[in-house]
Amino acid sequence: MYFKGPVNMSKPALYYATLSPPSRAVLLTAKAIGLDLELRPINLLKGEHLTPEFLKLNPQHTIPTLIDGEATIIDSHAICAYLVEKYGQEQQQLYPKDLVKRANVDARLHLDSGHLFARLRFLYEPILYYGSTDCSIDKIAYIQKCWEILEGFLKDDPYLCGSDLTIADFCAVATVTSVNDAAPIDEFKFPKLQAWLKRLAELPYYQEVNGDGAEELKAIFKTKLAENRGK
């Protein structure tokens, strides 16, 4: 881990972790718009996001955190929107300027932050950081309720906001694929959701940017849960 000042940089710098679904959502967005980022890895399990140096950058101590010139931007959803606005002029459909379309994308982003990721964190964080063994049916069912919501949005459309791929898809897929082992998706109950996952997985940059990190996080979760239960 290293820290640099925000001035006179040739490209935006992203503090990130491949284990972090929000980080991977930003990386998917950057790939989609062809933006090269200076990547600065943060080890969450070692608490590098809690160091005094990082807290100066982001008092909320969350990743990803973006440094672009003099600007510091936190929250993956805000970063994705910012990157498309500033650097994705040829991919504006990812975060459309039309007021109604943008409102729908914003709504799905809030679905991710307020429901999808929040429920993943409710299950994962105590096990990964605090030695918990609580992987209860109730917690899993709470996550799986989100599968019903996503299935509804995908009922008549290939993507969460209609016919076009947007940053809402990137944010949601990074979360869903990080927890779908612990909270399985029934392919018979949720065929549209399964088809959406396959559709996103066909993106040429998907596996490297999201798939590998999601699998690594799920493997670490299983290992930590077993370790905690063995104590």
Closest CA to 77 of 85, 135, 34, 123: 85
With beta carbons less than 8 A apart as the criterion, state whether 163 and 93 touch: no
Count of alpha carbons within 13 Å of 61, Cβ hemisphere only? 10
Closest CA to 78 of 35, 41, 115, 112: 112
Cis peptide before 64 (omega within 30 of 0): yes
In the numeric block, the tokens 């503090």 are attached to: 15
With beta carbons less than 8 A apart as the criterion, state whether 46 and 19 touch: no
71: β partners: 68
- 19 three-class SS: coil
Sign of CA dihedral 89, 104, 208, 51: positive
Side chain identity at 196, as an amino acid letter? W
Separation CA 162–CA 165 (nearest Å): 8
Active site residues: 20
